[in-house]
Amino acid sequence: MHEHLRILVVDDDAGTAETLGDILEAKGYEVEIASGGLQALALVQAKQHDVIFLDIKMPQMNGVEVLRRVKAMRPGSVVIMMTAYALPELMAEAERLGAQAILAKPLPLDRIIQFLEELAPTRPVLIVEKNPTLARTLKEFLQAHEYPTICVEGITHASEAMRQFHPDVVLLELESLLSGDGEVLRAIHNVDPSCTLVVLIGEDEERKSVPDHTLSQGARLYLQKSLQPAQVLEHVAEVRVERAVRKLRESQEGPGGSHPSS
């Protein structure tokens, strides 16, 4: 994800597309608009978009078929479907194909803005790693992709960094996780329970050495330190997408949430 997200709005309803596009541009996002499926696919082929807002019911090529082709071209695309109608079969197919959420029209603009703000890497990534070479490599790569990043060594510094910088993702070496009788986990959750913990495991360390309860206490997944920085970046981006989508879906289901109707 980029700080200035690149967004594609696909809708044959020009009024809806232009309204959403104008609002997002006013918020500083880079927006392109497509009035149909073929135009959308040409834009997707030409450029990677951080988020695609895609109408389900369109003439010539419906949104689900567009989604199918988008996922074939760019499998990691974040796609939010939009509809003014109850279309159970198409909605189910969209979810099966990997649409992150389905929004009812009229669009919940406040929730959309909140969703996009969750995606933008404004809060830092905290790296807790004793190997200075690995820490520096990860930090430089993440920063090159517009992720503010902080490196510290050891659990004491990690606790201080949590309180000072409020990161939303922590890349934590296994040794620090296992030491201090859970001090790092407590520090993370005391400062911000929504912060996501990703554990870095060395080649000579085994997954079975990690206490089972760490997953329930916030560890999302375990990554080998031998992974390339680009793979680590991919996981960090996935963390933000999953959290933003979860909050968007919760807002849809909560009080005042709207659902497509016939």
Q: Tell me the per-residue pLDDT of 168-198, one tens digit each, with 9 for 90 and over.
A: 899 988 877 776 656 667 777 788 877 888 8
- Residue 191, domain member (yes or no): yes
Same domain, yes or no, for 111 and 12? Answer: yes
- Residue 130, domain member (yes or no): yes
- Residue 145, domain member (yes or no): yes
- Residue 172, domain member (yes or no): yes
Q: What is the band of 148 on the pLDDT scale with cuts at 50, 70, 90?
A: very high
Query: Range of 67's domain?
Result: 6-119
- Residue 67, domain member (yes or no): yes
| Cα 74–Cα 58–Cα 66 angle in degrees, nearest 5 | 15
Same domain, yes or no, for 37 and 67? Answer: yes
Same domain, yes or no, for 21 and 41? Answer: yes
pLDDT value, residue 154: 74
Distances (CA, A) of 135 to 140, 149, 219: 9, 10, 19
Strand partners, 229: none
Question: Could you tell me which of 177, 152, 179, 182 has the C-alpha nearest to residue 167?
Answer: 152
Same domain, yes or no, for 132 and 203? Answer: yes
Q: Decide if pLDDT at 262 tops 50.
A: no
Residue 59: helix, strand or coil by DSSP?
coil
Do the Cβ atoms of 222 and 191 come closer than 8 Å?
A: no
Count of structural domains within the chain: 2
Q: What is the band of 66 on the pLDDT scale with cuts at 50, 70, 90?
A: very high
Same domain, yes or no, for 162 and 75? Answer: no
pLDDT value, residue 211: 57
- Residue 235, domain member (yes or no): yes
pLDDT digits (tens, 9 = 90+) for 94-130: 999 999 999 999 999 999 999 998 888 778 999 999 8
Residue 160: helix, strand or coil by DSSP?
helix
Same domain, yes or no, for 84 and 133? Answer: no
- Structure token pair of residue 232: 């680590």
Helix then strand then coil, in percent of the chain rounded to 5, is 50, 20, 30
- Residue 255, domain member (yes or no): no
Same domain, yes or no, for 231 and 141? Answer: yes
Q: How far apart are CA 221 and CA 227, in angstroms?
A: 13
